[in-house]
Amino acid sequence: MVDQSIHLLIRKFFTTYIVTVLASFLMAVSSVFGKGEWELARNSGNELIGWMFVYIMYIGTIVLFFGNGVTLVLEWVRVKGIIPHSWIIVVLHGIFGMALGLLFPYWLLVLYGMATALGYGIIDWWLRVRPLGPKGMIIVALSPVILYGVSWGTLQFLSPPMPPFTIEEAVAFATAGGDGTSIGVFPDEIGRWQGTVDGYQVVRETSARVIANNEYIVTFSESWTKDAETNSRYLSYRVERSGMTFYKREGEDPPYLKRK
C-alpha cells in the first residue's frame, strides 16, 4: 500500500511537471509569434523565456492544486471500478479542465484549460501503463531544460542585433529624470550653458567620452566666478544601455546651491 502511494505521488509529480513545462512553452511561443508577425524582434529568446516563467507560475499553480485535486478524485473513481475505462477518465480530465475557463467570458481560456487537462490525462495514463525508471526520470527532468535552452539560444541567434548605443543616447539616459537632483541644472545634451546665478558667473557643461563598446563616461562640470572667488566641481557616471552607476566626483557644491 505504501509502495503504491509512493508510485502514485511520483507519477502525479512527473505528470504535473511535464504538463506545466509543455503548456508553458507552447503558450510562450504563441505569445511571441501569435501577433500575426513571424519576423523576429530583438531579444526574442529573452522574451520567450520571460513568457515561459510567467506561464509556469500560473499554469503550475493551477495544475498543482486544482488539477491534482481533480485527478486524485478521478484516480479513486478508476481504482474503485466506478469508471473502469481509461479513455473516459482522460475525457473527464478535459471536461474538468474547462471549468476554470467557464469562470471568465473568454473562450480561449476554456480551450486552453481543456487542452492542458486532456494532456494531463493522457500523460498520466501513459506513465501509469509505462512507469518511469530512474533513467527515464532523469531524461524527463532534463528535457525541459534542454528545450528551453535550445529555444532561447536559437531565437537569440536569429534575432536582429541591438542597434549601437550612441553617445547621445547615453547623455539622454543620464539626464532623464534629473529634475530636483544634483545633475538637474546641467544641459540635457552635450554642450555648455553660461549665465549668472546670485551674482556668480557660472559655466555648466555636459560632456561624454567612450570607454568601451556601448559604454560611456558622462561628466557634468561646473565652474563659478565672483570677484576674486573662483571654484569648480564635476561629477561623472558610467552609462550603458542597461543602466548607469556613479563613477567619480571632485569639488564641493557651489555656494548659490548651498543657500537653497
Lowest-confidence segment of 46-60, 145-159, 177-191, 244-258 by average pLDDT: 177-191
DSSP code string of 174-218: HHTT-TTSTTTTS-SSSEEEEEEETTEEEEEEEEEEEEETTEEEE
* C-alpha cell, 93: 480530465
Confidence of residue 66 (pLDDT cuts 50, 70, 90): confident
CA dihedral (175, 179, 182, 184) in degrees, to 10, reads 60
Partners of 217 in the β-ladder: 209, 238
Residue spans per domain, the chain: 2-158, 167-258
Residue 14 is predicted with a pLDDT of: 85
Arithmetic mean of pLDDT, 158-187: 84
Question: Are the CB atoms for 51 and 45 separated by under 8 Å?
Answer: no
* C-alpha cell, 14: 512527473
Asked if pLDDT for residue 218 goes beyond 90, the answer is yes
Q: What is the pLDDT of residues 97-144, one digit of tens each?
A: 787 666 666 777 788 888 888 888 888 888 888 877 888 888 888 888
Arithmetic mean of pLDDT, 5-25: 86
Task: Give the largest Cα separation in the chain, rounded.
Answer: 101
| Calpha distance 208→215 (Å, rounded) | 10
Helix ranges restricted to H, the chain: 2-33, 44-62, 68-79, 86-102, 107-129, 134-158, 167-175, 255-258
Residue 198 is predicted with a pLDDT of: 87
Residue 3 is predicted with a pLDDT of: 65
